[in-house]
Structure 1
């Protein structure tokens, strides 16, 4: 018979995060000199998760989720739809004028090169 806290992998899935209290409990156990093996058996959380949380806490002194590294994407799905709409209404506009239109209409600041790249990816050529 499984209890409510049994098999956290089935309930949690790969994309969800542990709640802050669980992460705090892991760090508390670690500070009380419990081994990783004892912590994962006690909390019924995968050993790799416990190890990762403790390592992150040692390096960054926090268990909070950090922002992803790397350059953010300029064009969102919404921005791409607006770009498509502008081009369908006026197919003769230059990439520079489309970039200006997106800035004034949507407050979306992108370069003309990004406009060209996105349009090419959408199948608009010329």
Structure 2
């Protein structure tokens, strides 16, 4: 029988970010002067994730997910109309 897991590292893929409800406790522990190692151990989150959350919070002042920069992915994906180029052969 399997139980629901609360470990972020097990449930999150490499490209996913933790939700806002998971970031709040990290910032709370940081404000209580806990070390990154202690926060990681207490919340069972990788140290790199804890460090990234704290760094973004210090830089941006918020824990909300920011939109990605650059061109949207849907513009470059398959199924879109592809531009064709004509190649002329010199005779």
TM-score (ref. length: structure 2): 0.74
What count of residue pairs does the alignment treat as equivalent? Answer: 84
Q: Which has the greater radius of gyration?
A: 1
1:19-38 equivalences in 2 (<5 Å): 19-38=19-38
Tell me whether 1:4 sits opposite 2:5 in the alignment: yes
For residues 50-96 of structure 1, give each alpha carbon's deviation from its aligned partner in whole angstroms, at most 9, with x where no partner exists.
0000000001001122122224468454541xx6xxxxxxxxxxxxx
Helix, strand or coil at the partner of 2:37: helix
1:32-111 equivalences in 2 (<5 Å): 32-72=32-72, 75-76=75-76, 77-80=78-81
C-alpha RMSD of the superposition: 2.5
CA pair 3-72 structure 1, distance change in 2 beyond 3 A: closer
Structure with the higher fraction of residues in helix conformation: 1
Q: Select the structure with the greater relative contact order (CA < 8 A; seq sep ≥ 6).
A: 2
CA pair 37-71 structure 1, distance change in 2 beyond 3 A: same
TM-score (ref. length: structure 1): 0.56
For structure 1, the 5+ residue unaligned runs are 84-117
